[in-house]
Amino acid sequence: MRKKSALMGGIAALALAAPAFAEGEITIALNEELEVVEPCMASQSNIGRVILQNISETLTELDPTNGQLKPRLAESWSEVDADTWSFKLRPGVTFSDGTTLDGADIKHSMERAVSEALTCEIGAKFFGGMKITVDVKDDTTVEITSDPAQPILPLLMSTLTIVPAETPMEFVRSPVGTGPYVLAEWNAGQNIILTARDGYWGDAPQVTKATYVFRSDDAVRAAMVGAGEADIVPLINQNDATDAATDFSYPNSETTYLRVDNTIAPLNDIRIRKAMNLAIDRDAFLGTLIPADAIKAVAMVVPSTLGSNPDLTPWPFDPDQARALVAEAKADGVPVDTEVEMVCRIGNFPNVVEVCEALQQMFADVGLNVKLNMMEVAEWIQVYSKPFAEDRGPRMVMAMHDNNRGDPVFSMFFKYACEGLQSGLCDADLDKMIAEATAATGDARAEAWKPVFKRAHEDLVADVFLFHMVGFSRVSEKLDFVPTIATNSELQLSQIKFK
Amino acid sequence: MRKFLTRRAVASAVSLLVLIVMVFFLSRLTGDPTQLYLPVDASLEARENFRNLHGLNDPLIVQFGRYVGDLLTLDFGDSIRKSRPALDVVIEAFKWTLTLALITMVLVSFAAIVFGALAAFNVGGVFDRIATFFSLIGASAPDFWIAIVAIVLFSVNLGWLPTSGTGTLWHWILPIAVLFIRPFGLILQVVRGSMITALSSPYVKTARAKGVRPRPVIFVHALRNGMLPVITVIGDQAAGMLNGAVVVESIFGFPGVGKLMIDSILQRDFAVVLAAIMVTAFAIFLMNILIDIAYAVLDPRIRY
């Protein structure tokens, strides 16, 4: 009897092991540990989910609901001339170290992001190939000049995290920002804890403490919400997303496609590229290997992006027409029997191996000789980005491109211009159209991008577009929070409410 | 003994040097970390700047000379990914692995020796059959499967234990239990086999004939002599754990050195890879010394 009681007591004690969360506290389970907690690296998904708009804020902010820019640390902005924009800073904003935000902080943040002394991802990703100068007019006014001119400079400022002018030119471990939270603890390998701070310029958030933990196993992360150990899991596997009450799918701004090398036979023949597009039964993937909520793609950017062309339609599944095009090309001497390498990346997205195998079979069904080559990420990058090998054969590379900034400029030059690092073609007309759209402003900008998408998709049939993907999140039922396209890159704690 | 230790230390140092050279050059053959560190859209200029900043444009032999030079001052270099001294990163992770391995191996060794010895005492008996059955299951069951099933059962369905993490003592129960199963099965079988041989020895028969009770016969007379092969297997299993229990660390979110090494290899974080290999190699060297000492303690015929 005594033994039985002891056993029951032990079980009761173990049951109490589950953590009890106080009011205002939440736990977020990320899929990998943060390597740094550095504001100028906040464009990396998980670093962004901790830092962006929680610890460090930006001058402007992209509203994911309507694609419009809204003020954050800048109250307003205006175009001074083609090269220069003036930003008026919000008065009375203080950093968590007590210092007041002023123009010198903006200047230092920009210089730090593009400094060669430390490789910041924000600098490399958003400000490469341009020279940016920040002129401090007074404490609350800065003029930012870019060379070449950047009509979307205010949008670019939604990516630049602002740090105090005293921040050293090296990665920091205790970031100081103007956001509603401060880094309270960073226990390497275990967790990161943010707590709400006094003196924030905006409304006080409901979440007062957020603990980020790191679990690389998909099933474990998903199980943590049910076990009461986590409240938000931004990324769960689609196979685990089985509970309608807690699991959300959201467009994650990623687009999957096959980048086709348009310069090498037989891929340099438009009939072959058309045949490849017609050979794919995209509907067969949806709800099977690809989540049912994914959208068939007609462009490199998601439909909510500025200038998306509503007149474009996905290529239909028409294997008979594809076979006819292949036969026609063969009759004209195109070497259609040449082996075409299709490179896919291991772990690129769930079921990537099966998707690539299915594509290979679909291409074979219309008479194309495609060989699948699964590559690890470092090897894959070498064939995806220039400089391409001189002695390469005909090749397609499956990639997943992310553009969550709302403007095609972050995609189209890289993917389609002659000098674009991942471009598989060189078309003078397309180059000219991209340059014009990049320089356009206002309403004309959206109109200028539409024909660019048409030229790539219909006129040149440059690539094989597949899907605009979705991600899956699990959110505790006690929270009032719905993931959006922004969840792929940030997780604003101040937007999370309790039911 | 001192002479023996010196000889072993010199031999281990030579092995370590060869290991450093091999790992340094082989890891460089896996590719350029620039491709993985910078965003895919980063310009060629940004990539060149990154390579210059981290000395990746220098000839390999120059990079190696610089590395060895730094090593002489115990500077293992900085982690490119974490922007911190590589040794700090590794030591942090190694503490978790060492603790996990130490607790698990103590429990495994104790349990396997007791159950293995008892099973050997009555070969073919009920206890022997049960112990053999479960030890074979344990030795052949895959870690990741046991871990996931344990989480679903004990954490999700019953709610008794945390799914993962490191916050409290309760967090250690499932990882240790999962790590326990496989070496327990293996070592139990070795103990059983070794003890069967020892128990059939003339000196044990003599002890029994003199009326010595079963417990002292097993645990005093036979076990000491039967332990030598067991110690070897325990050392082998412990070395495997010190290199990191990658599956368990990944599933249970334990920030150990195994997962760190895998991640660092995949991300081409060379300084961390080298530091991790050297720290674990040093730990295994120390463990082997302890095993040699254990041999001498158990068998008076062994002298160094």
Are residue A145 and residue A73 in the same domain, yes or no?
yes
The CATH number linked to A22 is 3.40.190.10
Find out whether B196 and B239 touch, Cβ atoms under 8 Å: no
pLDDT tens per residue, range A458-497:
999 999 999 999 999 999 999 999 998 888 889 999 999 9
ipTM score above 0.85: no
Instruction: Retrieve residue A141's tokens.
Output: 């006014």
Residues of A in contact with B160 (CB under 8 A): 11, 14-15, 17
CB contact under 8 A, A128 and B42: yes
**Rounded to the nearest 5 degrees, what angle is found at the Cα of A29, between the Cα atoms of A28 and A35?**
105
Domains assigned to chain B:
2-71 (no CATH), 86-303 (1.10.3720.10)
Instruction: Tell whether B32 lies on the interface with A, counting CB pairs under 8 A.
Output: yes
Are residue A414 and residue A313 in the same domain, yes or no?
yes
- Cβ-nearest to B164 among A116, A124, A220: A220
Find out whether A189 and A5 touch, Cβ atoms under 8 Å: no
pTM of the model: 0.87
Per-residue buried b or exposed e for B237-254, using 16+ beta carbons within 10 Å of the residue's own CB: bbbebbbbbbbbbbbbbb
- Cβ-nearest to B253 among A17, A129, A215: A215
CB contact under 8 A, A125 and B43: no
Q: Is A499 exposed, middle or buried (0-12, 13-18, 19+ CB in 10 A)?
A: exposed
Gap between the Cα atoms of A473 and A450, Å rounded: 32
The CATH number linked to A109 is 3.90.76.10
The CATH number linked to A327 is 3.10.105.10
* Domain assignment of residue A163, yes or no: no
* Domain assignment of residue A170, yes or no: no
* Domain assignment of residue A221, yes or no: yes
Q: Specify the number of domains making up chain A.
A: 3
Gap between the Cα atoms of B171 and A333, Å rounded: 67
* Domain assignment of residue A378, yes or no: yes
- Cβ-nearest to B31 among A378, A410, A414: A378
Of A91, A123, A156, the position where a domain reaches its end is: A156
* Domain assignment of residue A264, yes or no: yes
Interface test with A, best of B79, B83, B91 (most A CBs within 10 A): B83
Per-residue buried b or exposed e for B14-37, using 16+ beta carbons within 10 Å of the residue's own CB: eeeeeebeebbeebbeebbbbbbb
Q: Which helix (H) or strand (E) holds A61?
A: strand A60-62
Cα distance between the two ends of chain A: 45
* Domain assignment of residue A47, yes or no: no
Are residue A405 and residue A430 in the same domain, yes or no?
yes
pLDDT tens per residue, range B82-101:
989 999 999 999 999 999 99
Scan residues 93-122 of B and list those with Cβ closer than 8 Å to A.
Answer: 93, 96
pLDDT tens per residue, range A68-88:
899 999 999 999 998 999 999
Residues of B in contact with A422 (CB under 8 A): 40-41
Gap between the Cα atoms of B197 and B200, Å rounded: 5
CB contact under 8 A, B162 and A217: no
pLDDT tens per residue, range A183-242:
999 998 899 999 999 999 999 999 999 999 999 999 999 999 999 999 999 999 988 998
Are residue A329 and residue A408 in the same domain, yes or no?
yes
Domain hosting residue A70, numbered range: 56-156
* Domain assignment of residue A171, yes or no: no
Are residue A89 and residue A128 in the same domain, yes or no?
yes
Of A103, A124, A156, the position where a domain reaches its end is: A156
Scan residues 36-95 of B and list those with Cβ closer than 8 Å to A.
Answer: 36-46, 49-50, 53, 79, 81-83, 89, 92-93
Taking alpha carbons only, the member of A273, A434, A281, A300 closest to residue A361 is: A281
Instruction: Tell whether B255 lies on the interface with A, counting CB pairs under 8 A.
Output: yes
Gap between the Cα atoms of A401 and A348, Å rounded: 11
Are residue A68 and residue A208 in the same domain, yes or no?
no
Q: Is the pLDDT of residue A16 over 50?
A: no
Residues of A in contact with B44 (CB under 8 A): 386, 421
Are residue A242 and residue A255 in the same domain, yes or no?
no
The answer to which of A352-356, B29-33, B125-129 has the lowest mean pLDDT is B29-33
Are residue A286 and residue A400 in the same domain, yes or no?
yes
Residues of A in contact with B152 (CB under 8 A): 223
What was the pLDDT predicted at A8? 44
Are residue A111 and residue A194 in the same domain, yes or no?
no
Q: How far is A129 from chain B (nearest CA, A)?
A: 7
Of A123, A156, A189, the position where a domain reaches its end is: A156
Instruction: Report the residue of chain B nearest A35, measured CA to CA.
Output: B82
Instruction: Report the residue of chain B nearest A33, measured CA to CA.
Output: B255
pLDDT tens per residue, range B86-141:
999 999 999 999 999 999 999 999 999 999 988 988 888 888 999 888 888 888 88
CB contact under 8 A, B156 and A414: no
Are residue A275 and residue A241 in the same domain, yes or no?
no
Residue A110, phi then psi, degrees to nearest 5: -70, -45
Are residue A415 and residue A297 in the same domain, yes or no?
yes
Are residue A396 and residue A461 in the same domain, yes or no?
yes
Instruction: Look up residue B102 and give its amino acid.
Output: L
* Domain assignment of residue A165, yes or no: no
pLDDT tens per residue, range A408-428:
998 999 999 998 989 999 999
